[in-house]
Structure 1
Amino acid sequence: MPFDAMSDVSDEALLVLYANGDRAAARALTVRLTPRVLGYATRVLADAAEAEDVAQEAMLRLWRIAPEWRQGEAKVSTWLYRVVANLCTDRLRRRRSAPLEEAEEPVDEARDAARQMQDAARARALSDALASLPERQREAVVLRHLEGMSNPEIAEVMDVSVEAVESLTARGKRALAARLAAQKDALGYEDD
């Protein structure tokens, strides 16, 4: 099947096609899923290089499991998010025992300096605030509000009940709001 014709094919069907040797299906699934899991890992880890490693490892695991994939048992995207979440958790746990080196943020030359500074300050404040949350709250907030997943999807990824997801996201949002409230004016938010 040509690559262009695969935009309407489900993730599960693409994985089965890949398992049967269809390279175009693998490419379509990679193009579809990699940016999503990379973005998720980047927000959780706040480190682009580590996030790339995690996304790559998660996709490799997906390719390895393809021949045994049983359609109807789980969504490919949910399975993949769960793998990414576990890989991120492992890396965050390893970080606790080793000091982190600060990396410079890449600069977008297309915007003016003041806007770049404000955007960088906002991103840093959000990243710092997210990092201050307990792991499970951070994971739930990122999946819900940055990845746009539904509570039932998050519950499946995190292996908790929907009620637990609701509690984790509510507590996480309250903690973020409290942490960021004092920085509202400094970050250029007036009535936002």
Structure 2
Amino acid sequence: MTMPYDAQDDLSDEALLARYASGDAAAARILTLRLTPRVFGHAMRLLGNHAEAEDVTQDALIRLWRIAPDWREGEAKVTTWLYRVVANLCTDRLRRRPSVDLDAVPEVEDGAVGAAEGMQQQARADALQAALMQLPDRQREAVVLRHIEGLGNPEIAAIMEISPRAVESLTARGKRALTEILAGRKDELGYTDD
């Protein structure tokens, strides 16, 4: 039986996945709308490429729909499983990329005209993304999950299949590396405090 949308909005991801596996198309729509922005954002931060992030998002969600009938509630959260799948798909794509000199890549022009604050925020976001892309893959993944996605160390450990202590180590090293990479750009990026 299909429930109305508003009744399904309160259901957990796992419950919606179980409903989808039972043939409830509305549950799939709600779960897709709920998860797609998070999955895409995570892929975008790991890859730094919009088109590739869209492809990874689609692949990850298709994999979720395929495993739905076999999903065992209580073993893992849907989001934990998806973050792990996205990370693996991104890692595969990054390994297949040819090495490119970052200085040789032209700057992408933004055609939008905005206020100074908007430009400053975009410069900061671009600087952070460029700095993230200089980190080793595992450090970047840990830093993104912890400080951008806002996940806790136990969930990150489950996603990355490492211990929470290893997560702490990766995020600490990643933060130190980001600090070093961005240290000389404080004035340019408009940071006046320490």
CA distance in 2, matches of 1:98, 1:184: 26
> Matched residues in 2 for 1:166 and 1:96: separation?
30
Name the structure 1 match of 2:193: 191
Note if 1:66 corresponds to 2:68: yes
Paired position in structure 2 for 1:48: 50
Give the total of aligned pairs: 190
Q: CA contact under 8 A between 1:108 and 1:116: conserved in structure 2?
A: no
Equivalent position amino acid for 2:39 in 1: V
How far apart are 1:118 and its partner, in Å?
2.4
Conserved? CA contact 1:141–1:169, under 8 Å: yes
Q: For residue 151 of structure 2, what is the aligned residue in structure 1? A: 149
| Residue pair 1:3, 1:27 contacting (<8 A) in 2 also | no
Runs of 4+ in 1 over 3 A off after TM superposition: 96-103, 105-109, 114-117
TM (normalized to structure 1)? Answer: 0.92
Q: 1:104 aligns with which of 93, 104, 108?
A: 108
Partner deviation per Cα, 1:51-97 (whole Å, 9 max, x = no partner)? 01100100000000001111111111100110000001011111135
Residue 169 of structure 1 is matched in structure 2 by 171
> Which of 137, 140, 159 is the equivalent residue of 1:138?
140
Letter aligned with residue 31 of structure 2? L
Q: Letter of the aligned partner of 1:104 in structure 2?
A: V
RMSD after superposition: 1.8
Change in 2 beyond 3 A, CA 1:150/1:107: farther
Q: Among all aligned residue pairs of Structure 1 and Structure 2, give the percentage whose two residues are the same amino acid.
A: 67
Equivalent residue number for residue 127 of structure 2: 125
Deviation for aligned residue 1:121: 2.1
Query: C-alpha separation between the residues in 2 aligned to 1:98 and 1:177?
Result: 23
What residue number does 2:90 align with?
88
How far does residue 191 in structure 1 lie from its aligned partner after superposition?
0.7
Q: For 1:21 and 1:99, how far apart are their aligned partners in 2? A: 49
Task: Tell me how far 1:115 sits from its aligned partner.
Answer: 3.4
Matching residue of 1:2: 4
Q: Secondary structure at the match of 2:108?
A: coil
Equivalent position to 1:22, from 21, 24, 41:
24
Match of 1:178 among 180, 184, 187: 180
The one-letter amino acid of 1:175's match is: A
- Unpaired runs of 5+ residues, structure 1, are none
**Distance in structure 1 (CA, Å) of the matches to 2:151 and 2:129:** 19
Which amino acid is 1:125 matched to? A
Q: For residues 38 and 184 of structure 1, what CA distance do their matches in structure 2 show? A: 29
In structure 1, distance between residues paired with 2:10 and 2:59: 26
